[in-house]
Structure 1
């Protein structure tokens, strides 16, 4: 009985608040930029120490300095991943909604509407139904 009371139960399917989402994106961005700064410092230390395989280490540090800012911006601007419940609800809504399709007819079955009007007294072929559209004069 004690174990059941200690567990937190989620009673809503609402998304995290925008402030929480923003905070987690900030943490990811600062973490990645911290790793980039560590690459810069490590590159400077490696050049002064000259360990074996120095070019390989410098290439790795350089790749971190170049690609981490790009990845950090992409990840920081990305929306949070959808949960399983959100994906399931989206799939259920997509499956529940019937797909509307237009009836298919062959060219022989198609009926075409032809409008054939007699000229009016004024010589116009079209008589507007709204009196404001009629030409005066």
Structure 2
């Protein structure tokens, strides 16, 4: 069996380490939950101060308090996105795979004949 040619791995194609990915997801989660806390505080201040146009600002604060935690958890549990150049490289490698020159076509292969009579 013929060995495939060695293809070196480029460092630019290497994915980020698990620790780096985890740290970036943790930072994103903390930032989003901080925005949620700000929404809660601003909503409480607006209600306490009886701000004008309260009917306009309160739904924005409520939406921030409800939607941001949901999005924060989804994004924190999400893995890194697949980069398009990696996907394209894998597809190109698959398309380049050609049958080995030693393989015989269907017509060239010897046919096995099974005879029922001895």
Q: Do they superpose with TM above 0.5?
A: yes
Long gaps (5+) in structure 2: 1-9, 99-118
Instruction: Please tell me whether Structure 1 or Structure 2 has the larger radius of gyration of its CA atoms.
Output: 1
Query: Counterpart in 2 of 1:48?
Result: 48
Relative contact order: is structure 1 or structure 2 higher (C-alpha 8 Å, sep ≥ 6)? 2
Q: Residue by residue, what CA displacement relative to the aligned partner does 1:69-102 show, whole Å, maximum 9, x if unpaired? A: 100000011111122321222332454468xxxx
- State the shift of 1:51 in Å: 1.9
Distance 1:55 1:61 in 2: 11
Aligned equivalents of 2:94, 2:77: Cα separation in 1: 27
Q: Once superposed, which parts of structure 1, at least 4 consecutive aligned residues long, lie more than 3 Å away?
A: 93-98
Cα distance in 1, alignment partners of residues 31 and 16 from structure 2:
21
Find the aligned partners of 2:30 and 2:93 in 1 and give their Cα distance. Answer: 38
Please give the TM-score of this superposition, normalised by the length of structure 1. 0.58
Q: How many pairs align?
A: 89
- List runs of 5+ in structure 1 lacking aligned partners: 1-9, 99-137
Matches within 5 A, 1:84-99: 84-96=84-96
Residue of structure 2 equivalent to 1:30? 30
TM-score normalised per structure 2: 0.67
CA separation of 1:55 and 1:95: change in aligned 2, threshold 3 A: farther
Q: Distance in 2 between matches of 1:64 and 1:94?
A: 45
User: What secondary structure sits across from 1:82 in the alignment?
Assistant: coil
Q: Which residue of 2 aligns with 1:134?
A: none
